Amino acid sequence: MYSIPVMGTWGDEPWDNDAGADWFATFFRGIDVDERIEFALDSDDFQEVRAACYVLAVLGRVYVWPGDFSRLARSLEKAIALLKSAEDEDYEDIKEQISKERRALEERRMSIHD
């Protein structure tokens, strides 16, 4: 049985506590996530772009993202623009999913204070 401490806890998400936030920092040690995301967003392969967008949507949050928050904000904005552009392209079979992914990025962007 796990005990959940009250001190060092500021929310109910897995990263909203000292131990969880520290775990994410350790997990990402040695990985330049900002660089990897920027590289993927510049890819000519749309599926690689979508994979990077997923990482941004899921991990692009305070106490999880190990990179620079201003770079994170710029990456989120770029990812949103890329998905919005893709919604106007020939991706009819996945257009609804792309829209859902874009909305998730927009929500994540609103939660980042740069």
CA distance 65 to 88: 30
* Model pLDDT, residue 2: 55
Q: For 42-91, what is each residue's pLDDT tens digit?
A: 999 999 999 999 999 999 998 899 988 899 999 999 999 999 999 888 78
* Model pLDDT, residue 113: 73
CA distance 78 to 61: 16
| Residue 1: band (very low, low, confident or very high) from pLDDT cuts 50, 70, 90 | low
Percent share of the chain, pLDDT over 90: 73
What is the pTM assigned to this prediction?
0.86
